[in-house]
Structure 1
């Protein structure tokens, strides 16, 4: 019998009002049920928001270092369960053991980071224009935060929304994606064990179309942080801003790596393959376009194909690349592979599902490389959330920059070059919120801002680092003439 996991609302683990549940299965073995979660509805979401609103004033007046102590203990609680949570993440989402372990560690580190940042929360002292006046600012929490998170980083993304929200004195309700909610639930378990007061943090599982929508549009919610698809994100932004809420959205990407004429081809192939095929390509920052100078194009294609060929596919606890998270995600990748071939791109490797006993009915797709891709092909314009790489040939650096920017997205971009002038130009001219030199498009430091340009983001507020605290605080200016 599988475990039935409850919602956490107002300090208690409770069943949903629907008394219904949904199953979460292992994408490597879809017949294996990992756990059952509450199939909640708008009533459950409303109760959670009301609990958060009732708890907000007292939490806001709790001294920030005391809030930090709870975050620090929650980090320690997560660390004590790292192996268990790594296995759970692999079983629900499909990441390899190494990838899942790295993500769990990222969540632990985020909680430790914001625990320490609570000591710096306060304000700034300024010089007044007149004698006898003390002029300063005070940072205050925004209020109640609605958090809606995706399945592809099911513990890291909740962590980098929850930790700064709590550090700044906000309360929250989170609705995690139904494909892999278990590790987000574990964050609330860790916080509960650390002594988080009732109502300050709440988690409600169930469909985002109902639960997520209900928390985002609730009158008592003051801030909304959403990570997910562009289509849904734009709707969330419009509905929340119409109500005057503070909103940040982080959406899709079509991330390029530019490989210049003088680049080391082997290094470039290593960088691109890691960005394209890591986490099964299921990252908003994954490299899906390699923009390569024509003089080294053929050599690069041969090298990156060799990297793809060396990847061993299978269950995440044993192999280099795991399955996609669901049948629908697998079908989406296979559909784009068909589209690319119909458009005239050349399939260099992959393009299908692997054969063999170890794959069973799992949602596996082969690492796939296309060459002969034109900039207007759908495979070069639309986000493919899978291990599919489009290689585009260009004649010079200017064409490479134009190709990199020829997208409605602008999340992450990288360049492989041995020319520092090219690197500097790339950083200045590429339209991306994250730009990297001689590095893969994926992978983020937790103490610097993260966010995109164009349709990759609302371009309002960044996440992580000090920017994460900025979103969850509002500044009051004080003129003290006492």
Structure 2
């Protein structure tokens, strides 16, 4: 077991006032404790907010290029430690090594991207109606941003919240997910070594009910960004808005891929398998519904079943698909497998706990394919957050589009078709914040907006790219008469 990691508050590594700790186990081998972290409470969170409030003015007045230099140096340090960070991510979250390495690289790229954007922040000059007047805008930081991040992308999501917040001149308090906080601690370490002033970033580990709630409700924080389940996110949104905060939430999904009769079934099955089974299905943008034209349905199902059954399952360092992150997540997936069968769906592949020496102790599950699914079944309506794909048969494009939209969520959606008219209509009419043509529902570029509609988002502010900066800035209009 490694030494107990500490919170990062006001430029110092400190223990929680509770004296309690949290052990993080390896989901591929739960008897192995990977690391131990502080189990902090509201008083620890309050101290972090106080440190951020004290530091925000100096950081806001730091020139953008200097802020960018620090972000760039932090990204470089993360790059130098990429293998170490990948090891930590695999051990704590369970993700397959290739996926974990790609996620770490994404965090590095995000810091480098926003390091450049920090120099561009300033404002715009406008023409005034009268003479002898300068009319322009200034982009000001919001103040102190409270970030609450999830376990499924434990370095990428904190990075795409934190980097634009710092680039825009905000101080930050951050609560990482308790299941996999280690890589966030390493981000704080890199920023500290890069020269970030004391108090500008504060990281406190512990339960959301104590640490997260204090961050959200404390009068010292000005903005709240949360990623997680819709149920929790809606409570966070209510808390934050009641406290008068600017708030951004990115939540769950029930993401469809519509496969039309012009599609090649094998190619479509590759797209759905990559979107549905990648990251063990533990992605808010994962494909959980394949909505398939009846003319290619049978062949598509055969191809998807082949892919599900050929996936190599085991510990992430040696296998294609790792475990679910916890026993609770595994049990939830297995429960949905039972529910689907009870409602009349046919289990065409997987859905059980695999056997073998490599998978004997961990939270492993076989990727599942369900057929004979109707859109009123729970398996077609509720987020599973595991490697489970429900295949729904439709007779034409109109029915496919209707089924795709007939859920409470609207995060990501894709269509597989050779018909340009169908593709264009899907782009226009799919009720989702991210729409793809002939591509999987997962995978995001870092320089374009990301967010959902309906229960997938607060529909207030987008993340990533220039849209990510918008959330962390307030525009001030200046009239300068001379």
**TM-score past 0.5 threshold:** yes
How far apart are the structure 2 equivalents of 1:441 and 1:254? Answer: 10
Give the structure 1 partner of residue 286 of structure 2. 286
Q: CA deviation at 1:3?
A: 2.2
How far apart are the structure 1 equivalents of 2:279 and 2:357? Answer: 22
Give the structure 1 partner of residue 45 of structure 2. 45
1:409-440 deviations in Å (ceiling 9; x for gaps): 00000000001110000000000000000000
Give the structure 2 partner of residue 258 of structure 1. 258
How far apart are the structure 1 equivalents of 2:130 and 2:420? Answer: 50
Alignment of 1:156-305 (within 5 A): 156-305=156-305
How far apart are the structure 2 equivalents of 1:230 and 1:432? Answer: 15
Q: CA deviation at 1:162?
A: 0.4
How far apart are the structure 2 equivalents of 1:211 and 1:260? Answer: 47
Q: TM-score, normalised by structure 2?
A: 1.00
Deviates more, 1:239-248 or 1:325-334: 239-248
Alignment of 1:126 onto 2:126 = yes
How far apart are the structure 2 equivalents of 1:99 and 1:275? Answer: 13
1:327-383 deviations in Å (ceiling 9; x for gaps): 000000000000000000010000110011111210000010000000000000000
How far apart are the structure 2 equivalents of 1:187 and 1:202? Answer: 11
Q: CA deviation at 1:60?
A: 0.2
Alignment of 1:398 onto 2:417 = no
Q: Which SS does the other structure have where 1:119 is aligned?
A: coil
Q: CA deviation at 1:384?
A: 0.4
Q: Which SS does the other structure have where 2:128 is aligned?
A: coil
1:197-231 deviations in Å (ceiling 9; x for gaps): 00000000000111111111101100000000111
Q: Which runs of 5+ in 2 are unaligned?
A: none
Alignment of 1:385 onto 2:385 = yes
How far apart are the structure 2 equivalents of 1:119 and 1:422? Answer: 42
1:4-27 deviations in Å (ceiling 9; x for gaps): 100000000000001111100100
Matched pairs, number? 482
1:81-140 deviations in Å (ceiling 9; x for gaps): 000000100000000110000000000000000000011100011111112111110000
1:169-190 deviations in Å (ceiling 9; x for gaps): 0001000000000001110000
Give the structure 2 partner of residue 337 of structure 1. 337
RMSD: 0.5
Give the structure 1 partner of residue 468 of structure 2. 468
Give the structure 2 partner of residue 421 of structure 1. 421
How far apart are the structure 2 equivalents of 1:148 and 1:351? Answer: 32
How far apart are the structure 2 equivalents of 1:277 and 1:176? Answer: 25
Q: CA deviation at 1:2?
A: 2.5
How far apart are the structure 2 equivalents of 1:209 and 1:306? Answer: 43
Give the structure 1 partner of residue 109 of structure 2. 109
Give the structure 2 partner of residue 354 of structure 1. 354
Give the structure 2 partner of residue 139 of structure 1. 139
Q: TM-score, normalised by structure 1?
A: 1.00
How far apart are the structure 2 equivalents of 1:281 and 1:232? Answer: 20
Q: Which SS does the other structure have where 1:4 is aligned?
A: coil
Give the structure 2 partner of residue 97 of structure 1. 97
1:57-81 deviations in Å (ceiling 9; x for gaps): 0100000110000000000010010
Q: Which runs of 5+ in 1 are unaligned?
A: none
How far apart are the structure 2 equivalents of 1:152 and 1:253? Answer: 14
How far apart are the structure 1 equivalents of 2:234 and 2:118? Answer: 32
Q: Which SS does the other structure have where 2:48 is aligned?
A: helix
How far apart are the structure 2 equivalents of 1:166 and 1:2? Answer: 30
Alignment of 1:65 onto 2:65 = yes
Q: Which SS does the other structure have where 2:138 is aligned?
A: strand
